[in-house]
Structure 1
């Protein structure tokens, strides 16, 4: 696996884009186009974009001012990896696994993304933080 989270065997098929907070609208448009091109149903795009937006927003507001998105198809799934250079995050368990408190006004992004994707995995370390989501296309 490369540093950006894209498995080496799909490097040629992956599309990548760097982004910052002001780029989020363009990033969502790019991701929607790629998702449709790679087989996502049009009626699934809304949930896909909500999940992507939550993770991408977290990356550029909590991780680092610039982040990278990679998107590719892996069998029956669309895979999206968002990587930022943030290294300070320490967490117990799997982030976004438990719902936020009832009256929460923030801290819901990873939980929402987990609910809308078929799989969400977070890794963090000296090279930054990566959130990888899978969305079944069938």
Structure 2
């Protein structure tokens, strides 16, 4: 997805889950169940859950204590967005485009998510941050 693209909008039928840091195991389980129900290949579910977990963890550790996940299918695959209401993030460029240093112990989440998803879009501003990702099914 290029920087000029607009992320897909969640339909009213999107599955939704509000979560906090303590809820991350449930987020992973919810996402895996939804991915399988949408027909995602079993060998792709693991990568999907890893990417989603990275973004969800960022949302509740760097953004706000509570975040929202929405998940839906569209003609191009399975789409998920994670939104937090954190307002202090001002990236200097497109997040996750550059690999972290070889010895990094943090800062890998969006880079990993970008590598594992088909498309990714990061929108941040006064309403918080939303990361939208698409995955093939």
Q: TM-score normalized by structure 2? A: 0.91
1:73 offset after TM fit, Å? Answer: 0.3
The answer for the alignment partner of 2:3 in structure 1 is: none
Q: Trace 1:30-45 onto structure 2 (pairs within 5 A).
A: 30-45=30-45
Q: TM-score normalized by structure 1? A: 0.91
Are 1:18 and 2:14 counterparts? no
Q: Distance in 2 between matches of 1:109 and 1:60?
A: 13
| CA deviation profile, 1:83-108 (whole Å, cap 9, x unmatched) | 00011110122100100011111100
RMSD (Å) for aligned C-alpha atoms: 1.3
The answer for the alignment partner of 1:66 in structure 2 is: 66
SS at match of 1:97: coil
Which of 100-109 and 56-65 deviates more? 100-109
Q: Point out 4+ residue stretches in structure 1 off by more than 6 angstroms.
A: none
SS at match of 1:123: strand
